[in-house]
Amino acid sequence: MQFPKFVAPDFNKEPFVSAPDVKTEPAGDGFLPENFYATTIYPEYFKIDGKWTMLHKSRMDCAVVIKDGIPTVTEPRRIKAGDQVVVGRKDDGTTGVYVHANCFVEANDDSNSAFAFRTGQSRETSFSWEYDRLYEILRHDRDNGYIVWVLGPACVFDYDSRTAMANLIKKGYCDCLFAGNALATHDLEAALFNTGLGQDIYTKKHVENGHYNHLHTINLVRRAGSIERFLDEYKLDTGVMHALTTTGTPFVLAGSIRDDGPLPEVIPNVYEAQNAMREHTRKATTVICLATQLHTIATGNMTPSYCETEEGIRPVYIYSVDISEFAVNKLHDRGSLSVKGLVTNIQDFLVNLERNL
């Protein structure tokens, strides 16, 4: 596995040498100084006490607090009154802030990349290379990285893809899973009734009173007190939640206003859910988002384009897989330029992936 090489800035050159220390101003109670600086997805450096210091485990659209000479990326909502917050909106080094956007050099890059860069992903884009690269990354990161999956409920509405995802978890290709109440609910519905929203996940036949199945499942889980106890109690042994539970893989289920239930593990406060997700994206080396705009954008917002590992600084690979070009390209358009998109049905994607790993 060969990553593009990280090339650090040369801080012995201008404008770095002559640049002043970065400026800060104290935050108010729940708000930032007016001229606050906001982070990007790229490696960033701040000149503090005459030295350029890298920001660790960054994410975009956040404030930088400097304390004891150390810069820390902080969500604005977590800022406390008096925090010393970096101010100024230049990021070219001249004011003590440097964003190192082009930090990775591809082995055999060429002059056409500029043009290729502008090309969005569509149903007519070739994905052969992207698949092969993804297999390579996942094989590497299973043992040497931290793979986060972000799943929409469609992943468990199909027998083959639900089985494929469960197998990927069991084989070690998932270090953490993000989803909502619906993914977990319909996965457990499938474990108990073999249906998704009342429709057989293999034959697609509608079962009688099937619209009750997910409500019934939620009720039983709530009675059991937890997903794990529910699976035990009913001796269920298939699906995504079962694979997570038996392998001890952590998951974050974030609440949303369209939830029935919810299941006991769902986090009702969305900002606490963000905090829980953020603990994992700080560690992420690869993120795979399937068929959920809400969770994909939320995750993309809090994932940097690089990570520091024992192998050095390398890219974080983010994949957004959806059948809609709009959904795939949206994350990219919001500034998450390192996202790779695949426009396809995630059922086929999962089955493909599992078969090749």
Query: Minimum Å distance from CB 230 to a second copy?
Result: 11
DSSP-based three-state secondary structure for 6: strand
Tokens of 262: 């919810």
Query: Minimum Å distance from CB 133 to a second copy?
Result: 10
Tokens of 25: 């101003």
Cβ distance to a second copy smaller for residue 308 or 348: 348
Buried/exposed code over 293-320 (b: 16+ C-beta within 10 A; e: otherwise): bebbbbbbbbbbbbbebeeebbbbbbbb
Query: Minimum Å distance from CB 225 to a second copy?
Result: 9
Query: Minimum Å distance from CB 137 to a second copy?
Result: 16
Cβ distance to a second copy smaller for residue 246 or 256: 256
Tokens of 296: 């994909």
Query: Minimum Å distance from CB 293 to a second copy?
Result: 8
* CA 113 vs CA 105, 108, 118, 334: distances in Å: 12, 11, 9, 21
Query: Minimum Å distance from CB 253 to a second copy?
Result: 11
Side chain identity at residue 42, one-letter code = Y
Cβ distance to a second copy smaller for residue 309 or 345: 345
Side chain identity at residue 65, one-letter code = V
Query: Minimum Å distance from CB 312 to a second copy?
Result: 25
Query: Minimum Å distance from CB 13 to a second copy?
Result: 25
Q: How many CB atoms lie within 10 A of CB 166?
A: 26
CA–CA distance, 307 with 315 (Å, rounded to integer): 6
Tokens of 29: 């109670």
Cβ distance to a second copy smaller for residue 14 or 136: 136
CA–CA distance, 282 with 285 (Å, rounded to integer): 9
CA–CA distance, 98 with 151 (Å, rounded to integer): 35
Cβ distance to a second copy smaller for residue 55 or 254: 254
Cβ distance to a second copy smaller for residue 12 or 126: 126
Cβ distance to a second copy smaller for residue 11 or 131: 131
CA–CA distance, 188 with 53 (Å, rounded to integer): 47
Q: What angle do CA 244, 248, 253 make, to 5 degrees?
A: 50
Spatial contact of 48 and 71, defined as CB atoms under 8 Å apart? yes
Fill in the DSSP letter of residue 212.
G
Characterise 279 by phi-psi region: left (phi > 0), alpha (psi -120 to 50), beta (else): alpha
Query: Minimum Å distance from CB 89 to a second copy?
Result: 5
Query: Minimum Å distance from CB 310 to a second copy?
Result: 30
DSSP-based three-state secondary structure for 328: helix
Cβ distance to a second copy smaller for residue 18 or 257: 257
Cβ distance to a second copy smaller for residue 50 or 115: 115
Q: How many CB atoms lie within 10 A of CB 126?
A: 7
Cβ distance to a second copy smaller for residue 309 or 352: 352
CA–CA distance, 261 with 255 (Å, rounded to integer): 10
